[in-house]
Structure formats: C-alpha cells, structure tokens
Amino acid sequence: MNIVVVEDDVLLGHHFERTLKKAGYNVASSPHALGAIRLIDETKPAVIVLDMLLTGSTAMPLLHELQSHDDLARIPVVMVTSMAADLSLETLKPYGVRYVLDKTTMHPDDLVAAIRSVSL
Amino acid sequence: MIDYRSLSSLTIAAHELKSPLALLRQLALSLETGDLLEVERREVARHMKLVSERALRLTTDLTKVQRLEDGLFELEPINPQQLCEEVVWELSPLYKACGRELVLAPRQRPLLAIANKDLLRRILLNFADNALYYADETSPVELSVSSRAQGETIRLGIRDYGPALSIDTWRSLHDTALRPEQLYARPGGSGLGLVIACQFAQAMNGSVGATRHRDGATFHVDIHASRQMSLL
C-alpha cells in the first residue's frame, strides 16, 4: 500500500517514513505541497499523511486541490500537526481529513493505527 | 491559523520550540520501542543531537535578544569569508542529515567588516537554518560575501533554490519580519529566527533584507566595511 507523507521538517519526515516502512507500507515524502502533488499523481497513494503548517503555506491549498479532482478527493488524509488543539476534525472532514494526530502527544504506533483505520 | 500578531513574544517562542521538542519526543519513543536496527539507532541518536542543537540555538538567540538592550556587544574588524566558512562547517552535519548541502562561494580578495562576530554568526545560522526548510534537494544553499556601495558595505547572503513563495506569503514575511517596528510579530509559517536576525543586525548598525527569486530566495545582512584594508 502506498503512502505519501507531506512534512516540511525533513528529519520528522524521515522518522514517519521509517515508522511506516517498518509497518510494511511503501512511502514517498515531500517537504512541500508542490512536490506532494507530483508524488500523489505518480504513486496513487491509499492514504496521505499531511502536516498543517508547510513551508511557505498551510496545508489548505493542497486540500483544496485534492478536493477539486474526483479521484484524489477520495484519498483519506491523516493530519499530523502540533496545532491539533486548535483544529476540529469536523471542520476538516469536508476536505478529506479523516484523522487528526497531535505531534506533541502521539506515539509512533498511532500513525500506523490511524492509517489502518482510515484505509479499511 | 494562529494569529502571531496577537501573541506575546514568550508565546511565539514557546510555539517555535514546540516543533523540535515534539520531534525529540518522537525520536526518543522510537528508540524506546527497541525495534530499530543498530544503524537506525545511531541515525536516530544523531538526529536527536542535531535537533537539540537547533533548539538550543534558538534559546541562546532569545537570551541574547534580551541582552541587546545592555549594549554589551562590541564591534571589531572581522573576516566575513572566514566566518562563513565556520558557519558552513557548523551546519554541514544538519544539512547532510536532511539530504541538503550548504556551500560557500569562493572569493579571491578578502574583505574586512565591522561587526560583532557572535551576532553576525547567529544571523547567518538563522538564515541558513531557515533556508533548510525551503531548499530543494537538487541545488545547494549558497553563502556568499560581496562588497556593496563602493566598498562601504559588505553583504553576506544566503541563496536557496526551491519552490517560490506565494506573493501573499512573501509580502507577509517581508512586511512583518523585516520591519523594525514589528520585531515581535511574525507571519504564520515563517521563522522567528528572521525577526531575531533583524534585531542582531540593528545592534551592529546593519540591516537585513530579502530578495524573492522565481526559484527560491536570498536573505542577506548588510554591515559596514572596515577601512583598515584601505590602510594596507
């Protein structure tokens, strides 16, 4: 199963990639939305792992872009952010976000569990 | 989105430190699980060291910002090219861990600047740290030293190659981070480091600025040139 990770902190992106690869997923990462679009087109991921604050922008333009294409709009998004306390899953659901993880309290296994739950 | 303009400097600093602390916690948890290979354990430990150093740079900068009012930072003639070499050496492990490269443009003729070495070093570390977020894997981030204004000013610039910032983001960054009257404000998604760099530059009678390119950006600091070279 292919996963695309969009995380602008390269070292955290490496960590997510290592965690997901150990769980048996194929992972491609991008630090910014532009690169993510290319990876999503190339790999047709089952799930997108997305940070809220990206380099030079928020995740919202990318979420809008995904929602504007029928095939991409169906890909579930797991949002991993340190702003989880300020975000509401209900507000983000129309943008394809199915799970919000808090970077400051999550365990590495929580990411795998979230991906399993949204890709069922 | 968090409106940084309505937050105190303490809150901004706390938010800025949240990211490295959250990453350190994630890395520590992955070590604790014990299912990493030896080579992975070494890599995680190395990353923890680099993230800690990055966070400590910010805390040290914040301490120094508080001390700027004391005016205890002496200015002296320094070789900016040599200082840039030291910055490249210091940040190379972090850049390497992130799959990026930091290089210094070669220079034939040496220049002398009037600056506080520690403050200028911290400005360059801030710019280079910020560039790490924007730089593409395919092109190195480049430090350069040049003479401006008929030799009156020396410019130290850091050029990154990556996706261009949107005009809105750029305006927000430029208006907020580089305007001295709003030093404690910052736009969402940019670095507190840029705001700190602005204060450090002013303490040396210098200034910081930025140029947006089609394929990235250059952040620079301008400081006065030393006249000692003209006496040689």
Residue A22 CA, chain-centre distance (Å), reads 17
**Does position B135 have pLDDT exceeding 70, yes or no?**
yes
pLDDT tens digits, B81-124? 999 999 999 999 999 999 999 999 998 888 899 999 999 999 99
CB contact under 8 A, B166 and A57: yes
**Does position B185 have pLDDT exceeding 70, yes or no?**
no
Per-residue pLDDT at A25: 97
Per-residue pLDDT at A69: 93
Per-residue pLDDT at B174: 59
Per-residue pLDDT at B168: 62
Q: Which two tokens stand for residue A16?
A: 């997510």
The verdict on ipTM greater than 0.85 is yes
Give yes or no for a contact between B187 and B169, defined as CB atoms under 8 angstroms apart.
yes
d(CA A114, CA A117): 5
d(CA B140, CA B143): 10
B-chain CB neighbours of A82 within 8 Å are 18-19, 22
Q: Which two tokens stand for residue B107?
A: 């220079």
Candidates A5, A6, A10: best to mutate against B (most CBs of B within 10 A) is A10
**Does position B204 have pLDDT exceeding 70, yes or no?**
yes
A-chain CB neighbours of B18 within 8 Å are 82, 104
Residue whose token pair is 């040689």: B232
Percent of chain A with pLDDT over 70: 99
pLDDT tens digits, A57-97? 788 989 999 999 999 999 999 999 988 888 889 999 999 99
d(CA B187, CA B171): 10
Task: Work out the average pLDDT over B67-85.
Answer: 87
**Does position A120 have pLDDT exceeding 80, yes or no?**
no
Q: What angle do CA A60, B177, B72 make, to 5 degrees?
A: 145
Give yes or no for a contact between B224 and B152, defined as CB atoms under 8 angstroms apart.
yes
CB contact under 8 A, B2 and A83: yes
Number of residues that make up chain B: 232
Mean pLDDT, chain B, as a whole number? 83
Per-residue pLDDT at B106: 93
Candidates B4, B24, B30: best to mutate against A (most CBs of A within 10 A) is B30
Dihedral over alpha carbons A32, A35, A36, A40 (to 10 degrees): 180
Locate the chain B residue with the closest alpha carbon to A61.
B166
B-chain CB neighbours of A12 within 8 Å are 22-23, 26
> CB under 8 Å to B56, separation ≥6 — which residues?
none
Q: What band does B180 get if pLDDT is binned at 50, 70 and 90?
A: very low
Per the DSSP assignment, residues forming a β-bridge with A49 are A5, A78
Name residues 21-50 of chain B within 8 A of A (Cβ): 21-23, 25-27, 29-30, 33, 35, 40, 44, 47, 50
Going from the N-terminus, what domains does chain A have, and what CATH number goes with each?
2-118 (3.40.50.2300)
Locate the chain B residue with the closest alpha carbon to A9.
B133
Distance from the B69 Cα atom to the nearest Cα atom in chain A, whole angstroms: 32
pLDDT tens digits, B31-70? 998 788 999 999 999 999 999 998 999 889 888 887 887 7
* A108: nearest CB among B21, B26, B134: B26
**Structural domain boundaries in chain B:** 4-231
Task: Work out the average pLDDT over A46-60.
Answer: 87
Give yes or no for a contact between B135 and A32, defined as CB atoms under 8 angstroms apart.
no
Residue B27 CA, chain-centre distance (Å), reads 24
Q: Which CATH fold would you assign to the domain B4-231? A: Heat Shock Protein 90 (3.30.565)
Mean pLDDT, chain A, as a whole number? 92
Q: Is B144 helix (H, G, I), strand (E, B) or coil?
A: strand
pTM over 0.95: no
Task: Quote the radius of gyration of chain B (alpha carbons, Å).
Answer: 18
Name the more confident of B158 and B190: B158
B-chain CB neighbours of A107 within 8 Å are 29
**Residues of A14-34 as b/e, b for ≥16 C-beta within 10 angstroms?**
bbbbbbbebbebebbbbbbbb
Distance from the B98 Cα atom to the nearest Cα atom in chain A, whole angstroms: 6
